[in-house]
């Protein structure tokens, strides 16, 4: 029990360092590993916006006619003390019918998203595929999509007992359709700039 108390105290001390930094700096903690990352490149932000727009059109009630089950956020800060993690995914989605929506005034957000989308950057790719992916699994995120804007690829993962297990991968000119958004079939090249 004492070892766990020490780990929680260490995690909280790391969080104090995060909170001491000025806004606008991306600082994360994944399974107790501290990471600062640079602002993303233009290529990255285009994919981020295109994927978010496709999801909101399909599931976010953008047409005003339906009551949406999903709510999506760009770069929310999510926190899990049990996973010793405080992360900033590029995109995250919460489903009202599954676990509810987070409090819009809470930051960082304690309610774990159902889905997370991460656009890979060359400078942080090994971290995103390693500690950060593992942290999402431990937090209880149901699905993770990794989008490689350079390689023009979408890799999907499903949480099985706290581990992110690889699912379908889409590349080239394929039509992507993957959990939890199987009804959203989109042309993969539409996500990327210069297609």
pLDDT digits (tens, 9 = 90+) for 48-69: 999 999 999 898 755 555 668 9
Tokens for 125, please give them. 């790719």
Measure the CA–CA gap between 26 and 142, rounded to whole angstroms.
23
pLDDT digits (tens, 9 = 90+) for 7-44: 778 778 877 777 777 666 677 767 777 676 767 777 88
What pTM, to 2 d.p., does this model score?
Answer: 0.84
Contact criterion met (CB below 8 Å) for 5 and 12: no
Tokens for 181, please give them. 């958004």
CATH of the domain at 29: 3.90.1570.10
- Total tally of structural domains belonging to the chain: 1
pLDDT digits (tens, 9 = 90+) for 127-183: 899 999 999 999 999 999 999 998 999 999 999 999 999 999 999 999 999 999 999
Of 58 and 2, the one with more pLDDT? 58
Measure the CA–CA gap between 153 and 146, rounded to whole angstroms.
8
Say how many C-beta atoms besides its own lie within 10 A of residue 27's C-beta: 18
Residues 82-94: what's their mean pLDDT? Answer: 92
The pLDDT value recorded for residue 43 is 81
Measure the CA–CA gap between 25 and 102, rounded to whole angstroms.
23
Domain span holding position 102: 2-191
Measure the CA–CA gap between 109 and 178, rounded to whole angstroms.
26
Say how many C-beta atoms besides its own lie within 10 A of residue 3's C-beta: 7
Say how many C-beta atoms besides its own lie within 10 A of residue 108's C-beta: 16
Ramachandran category for residue 8: left, alpha or beta (phi over 0 → left; psi -120 to 50 → alpha): alpha
- Of the chain, the end-to-end C-alpha distance in Å amounts to 55
The pLDDT value recorded for residue 74 is 94
């Amino acid at each position: 029990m004492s070892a766990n108390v020490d780990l929680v105290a260490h995690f909280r001390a790391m969080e104090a360092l995060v909170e001491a930094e000025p806004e606008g700096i991306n600082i994360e903690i994944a399974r107790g590993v501290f990471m600062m990352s640079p602002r993303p490149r233009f290529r990255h932000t285009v994919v981020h916006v295109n994927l978010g727009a496709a999801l909101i059109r399909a599931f976010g009630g953008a047409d005003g006619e339906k009551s949406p089950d999903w709510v999506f956020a760009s770069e929310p800060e999510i926190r899990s003390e049990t996973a010793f993690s405080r992360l900033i995914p590029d995109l995250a989605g919460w489903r009202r019918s599954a676990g509810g929506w987070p409090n819009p005034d809470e930051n960082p957000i304690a309610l774990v998203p159902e889905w997370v989308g991460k656009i890979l950057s060359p400078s942080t790719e090994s971290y995103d595929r390693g500690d950060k992916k593992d942290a999402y699994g431990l937090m209880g995120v149901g699905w993770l999509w990794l989008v490689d804007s350079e390689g023009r690829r979408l890799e999907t993962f499903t949480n099985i007992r706290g581990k992110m297990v690889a699912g379908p991968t889409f590349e080239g000119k394929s039509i992507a359709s993957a959990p939890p958004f199987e009804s959203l079939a989109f042309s993969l090249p539409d996500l990327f700039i210069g297609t």
